[in-house]
């Protein structure tokens, strides 16, 4: 094989968006398929899984293989791609009976509350019935096949990426519709009608193929612009016609033949599928949470070593930010990874926090008996430290100074050691650490929570080991009493409660993200969130701080603020938010609305932090990071508005000012993303 051919076969696209969507579809299907198998096992379900996976692989080959790289140079490559998308992928996907597994793969509440009303909507049902009726599906398929091969339409698709996309969407979806009635297992239509259905479709296919082969003129002149091999454009067109004719026809004729065999052999309606009720399926008893609780010192030690390496490089290494661990790890990768962990699992960074080992060391060499001052048992100090951090980040160019970063980390270690060396409990984590507060707030949208498995077990408990501890292990140092704990606020995921509980009744449970925003009930060690001004201020500072932190690295804002960092930070995190919140409070009638609704803006701020971190962590690896950033902002604004709507119980006048503010933050976030940004700490 010559070098050009080798290069051609190496021309895989690997577009991350397409691959992510295909993997997400496979993940959902397998998740739903596994859930279904725990109920009843259909004898044919493994073949369905294989068919669905094969369908996705065919799509992958069509859109990521060299076929894609050469579709604008060879009509035959483009035709093969169309064949895969229109005639092979759809039947394979449908043979996987994807509807139920995909629905089962989604969160139950989303299916019931979100999709349920649409799926049971008579209008939807009527449209679906109409669109899947064989005459309609056949007609749509035939029209799409013919129309898109007319020279005007095909040339349009070759010249415009948007129309190219529409063309392929039409091919794929008309393929799905075409094969739907044939493969519908609940269809009451006689099988024989699909024999003429397939044969007539093949006639259309044959006619088109013959046109390609015998027309004698070049149908799509674009393919004559560049000739990349000895194959002339006219010969390439004949080859494309033959591909469409022979393998294309087989895809219609083989099923038609099988159907004919079935009809003429007198086989009655399909045998009902055989099911086996699943009983006593072995359930894995391995307790991952307890395992992590026992071994969490290891990640803490690993992160401690990393922190030491970062400090050493910051002090003694080259002071070139992108080449120094203190310039890259804390400001680029740690932020991105900790946010990713928070949004997909929970507060894993606090669980593996390197300061904990130092704190514990402090307790062994220092008295650790004093009580944290009553006046400081709130979040005000941490909030002030967080604002100071935002200011220092810009004013002192922390991101660009490995030396200062190393001192900052060392200062953090020393503060943790001294505070927890002299004061009892986890005073540093609970009242001082601004990173911890940041993680607590972000973890309000985490999908996992340390919580009791069965409340009834706690009602019979007399020892309360989860908070008091026992001879084996300490209880919760942040004073969170598990039966009264709600959400992730103040929880460092230390898992002491998991280890301490003698009934194995505390675990890492899956929850609906952001659900606890709406629960204004008593929370252990916190009380009611709407009564805690310090917590509300902390949440708002983190929310608006996201925009301040991101805006400060854009060109227009940098030109605007110059060296007025303190004013910009205070205005952005305190003054402007206070004004906006007060205005919304005036516009939305009712008691306690400000405290209730202001915290619901947090998802918008969290999304901005995530988009910002994604930019720094991924821009070097992903060619176009903007879609990910916008999708994160979308998720944030939609979640905020959903929470506001739910909290307002559908009262538009109450919800409108807050929803408008959320949209305003969204627009601000988009504006920030669209500005030229400094590639801080990145090569």
Partner 1 sequence: MKKLFLFVFPVLLAWADGGTVLFHKPAGDFDITLFSKSEAVRAGVNDLSVLVQRPDHSTVMDATVLLHLEQKQTTGDILRLTAIATHAKATNKTLYAVPFNIPATGTWHLEADITSQGKTGTATGQIDVLPPLPPVANYWPYVAMVPALGVAFLINRKLRQRYRPRLK
CB of 297 to partner 1, least distance (A): 43
In 3D, which of 310, 194, 164 has the Cα closest to residue 256? 194
Binding piece for partner 1, criterion CB under 8 A, among 245-253, 353-361, 469-477, 637-645: 637-645
- Tokens 């077990």 -> residue: 457
Stretch 147-166 residues interacting with partner 1 (CB under 8 A): 159-162, 164-166
Alpha helices in 619-651 (DSSP H): 626-647
Question: Using the rule CB under 8 A, which residue among 31, 53, 72, 139 binds partner 1?
Answer: 72
Radius of gyration of the chain (CA): 31
Q: Which two tokens stand for residue 93?
A: 């996907």
Q: Which two tokens stand for residue 69?
A: 């790289």
Interface with partner 1 includes 422 (CB under 8 A)? no
Please answer whether residues 501 and 451 qualify as being in contact, where contact means their C-beta atoms are separated by less than 8 angstroms: no
Interface with partner 1 includes 193 (CB under 8 A)? no
Interacting residues of 523 by C-beta distance below 8 A, sequence separation 6+: 484, 485, 486, 487, 489, 529
In 3D, which of 336, 386, 331, 382 has the Cα closest to residue 569? 386
Q: Which two tokens stand for residue 496?
A: 């002491």
Interface with partner 1 includes 678 (CB under 8 A)? no
Interface with partner 1 includes 290 (CB under 8 A)? no
Interface with partner 1 includes 118 (CB under 8 A)? yes
Question: Using the rule CB under 8 A, which residue among 634, 668, 680, 682 binds partner 1?
Answer: 634
Binding piece for partner 1, criterion CB under 8 A, among 33-41, 259-267, 451-459, 621-629: 621-629
Interface with partner 1 includes 225 (CB under 8 A)? yes
Question: Using the rule CB under 8 A, which residue among 107, 116, 221, 273 binds partner 1?
Answer: 116
CB of 173 to partner 1, least distance (A): 7
Interacting residues of 16 by C-beta distance below 8 A, sequence separation 6+: 622
Quote the distance between the C-alpha of residue 372 and its chain's center. Answer: 40
Please answer whether residues 435 and 356 qualify as being in contact, where contact means their C-beta atoms are separated by less than 8 angstroms: no
Give the residue with the Cβ less far from partner 1, 199 or 626.
Answer: 626
CB of 565 to partner 1, least distance (A): 27
Interface with partner 1 includes 173 (CB under 8 A)? yes
Question: Using the rule CB under 8 A, which residue among 27, 99, 121, 288 binds partner 1?
Answer: 121
Interface with partner 1 includes 226 (CB under 8 A)? yes
Residue 317 is classified by DSSP as: S
Quote the distance between the C-alpha of residue 485 and its chain's center. Answer: 27
Distance CA 188, CA 340 (A): 48
Interface with partner 1 includes 59 (CB under 8 A)? yes
H helices, E strands: number in the chain: 36, 4
CB of 395 to partner 1, least distance (A): 29
Binding piece for partner 1, criterion CB under 8 A, among 56-64, 198-206, 286-294, 304-312: 56-64
| Burial of 299: CB neighbours in 10 Å, binned 0-12, 13-18, 19+ | middle
Number of residues located near partner 1, criterion CB under 8 A: 68
**List of residues contacting partner 1 (CB under 8 A):** 3-4, 7-8, 10-13, 15, 17-18, 21-22, 25, 59, 62-64, 66, 68-73, 81, 85, 89, 113-114, 116-118, 120-121, 159-162, 164-166, 168-169, 172-173, 225-230, 624, 626-627, 630-631, 634, 637-638, 641-642, 645, 650, 666, 670, 673-674
């Amino acid at each position: 094989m010559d070098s050009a051919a080798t290069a051609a076969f190496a021309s895989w696209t690997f577009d991350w968006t397409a691959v992510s969507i295909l993997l997400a579809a496979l993940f959902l299907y397998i998740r739903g398929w596994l859930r279904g198998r725990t109920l009843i096992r259909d004898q044919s379900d493994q073949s369905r899984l294989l068919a669905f996976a094969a369908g996705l692989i065919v799509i992958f080959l069509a859109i990521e293989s060299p076929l894609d790289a050469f579709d604008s140079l060879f009509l035959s490559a483009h035709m093969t791609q169309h064949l895969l998308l229109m005639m092979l992928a759809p039947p394979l996907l449908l043979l996987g009976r994807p509807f139920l597994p995909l629905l089962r793969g989604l969160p139950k509440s989303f299916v019931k509350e979100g999709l349920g009303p649409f799926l049971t909507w008579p209008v939807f049902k009527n449209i679906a019935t109409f669109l899947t009726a064989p005459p309609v599906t056949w007609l749509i398929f035939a029209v799409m096949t013919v129309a898109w091969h007319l020279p005007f339409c095909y040339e349009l698709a070759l010249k415009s990426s948007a129309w190219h996309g529409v063309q392929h969407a039409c091919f794929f979806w008309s393929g799905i519709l075409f094969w739907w009635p044939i493969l519908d297992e609940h269809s009451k239509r006689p099988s024989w009608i699909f024999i003429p259905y397939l044969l007539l479709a093949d006639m259309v296919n044959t006619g088109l193929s013959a046109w390609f082969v015998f027309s004698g003129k070049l149908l799509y002149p674009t393919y004559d612009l560049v000739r990349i091999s000895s194959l002339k454009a006219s010969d390439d067109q004949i080859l494309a016609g033959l591909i469409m004719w022979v393998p294309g026809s087989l895809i219609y004729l083989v099923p038609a033949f099988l159907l004919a065999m079935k009809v003429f052999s007198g086989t009655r309606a399909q045998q009902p599928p055989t099911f086996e009720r699943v009983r006593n399926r072995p359930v894995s008893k391995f307790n991952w949470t307890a395992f992590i609780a026992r071994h969490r010192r290891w990640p803490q030690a690993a992160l401690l070593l990393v922190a030491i390496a970062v400090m050493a490089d910051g002090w003694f290494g080259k002071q070139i930010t992108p080449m120094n661990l203190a310039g890259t790890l804390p400001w680029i990768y740690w932020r991105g990874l900790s946010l990713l962990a928070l949004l997909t699992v929970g507060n894993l960074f606090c669980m593996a926090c390197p300061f904990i080992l130092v704190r514990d060391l402090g307790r062994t060499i220092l008295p650790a008996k004093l009580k944290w001052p009553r006046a400081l048992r709130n979040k005000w100090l941490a909030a002030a430290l967080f604002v100071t951090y935002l200011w220092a980040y810009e004013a002192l160019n922390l991101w660009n100074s490995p030396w200062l970063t190393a001192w900052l980390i060392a200062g953090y270690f020393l503060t943790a050691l001294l505070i927890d060396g002299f004061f009892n409990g986890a005073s540093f984590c609970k009242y001082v650490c601004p990173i911890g507060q940041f993680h607590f707030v972000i973890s309000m949208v985490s999908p996992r929570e340390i919580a009791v498995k069965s409340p009834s077990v706690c009602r019979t408990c007399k020892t309360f080991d989860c908070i008091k501890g026992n001879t084996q292990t300490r209880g919760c140092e942040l004073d969170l009493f598990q039966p009264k704990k709600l959400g992730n606020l103040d929880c460092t995921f230390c898992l002491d409660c998991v280890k301490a509980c003698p009934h194995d009744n505390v675990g890492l449970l899956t929850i609906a993200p952001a659900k606890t925003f709406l629960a204004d009930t008593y929370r252990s060690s916190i009380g009611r969130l709407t009564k805690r001004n310090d917590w509300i201020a902390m949440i708002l500072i983190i929310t608006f701080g996201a925009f301040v932190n991101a805006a400060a690295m854009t060109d227009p804002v940098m030109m605007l603020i110059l060296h007025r960092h303190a004013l910009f930070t205070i205005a952005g995190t305190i003054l402007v938010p206070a004004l906006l919140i007060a205005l919304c409070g005036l516009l939305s009638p009712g008691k306690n609305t400000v405290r209730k609704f202001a915290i619901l803006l947090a998802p918008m701020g969290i999304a901005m932090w995530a988009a910002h971190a994604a930019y720094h962590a991924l821009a070097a690896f992903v060619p176009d990071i903007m879609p990910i950033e916008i999708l994160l902002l979308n998720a944030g604004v939609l979640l905020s508005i959903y929470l506001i709507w739910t909290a307002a119980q559908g009262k538009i006048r109450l919800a409108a000012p807050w929803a408008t503010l959320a949209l305003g933050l969204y627009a601000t976030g988009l504006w920030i993303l669209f500005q030229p940004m400094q590639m801080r700490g990145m090569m």
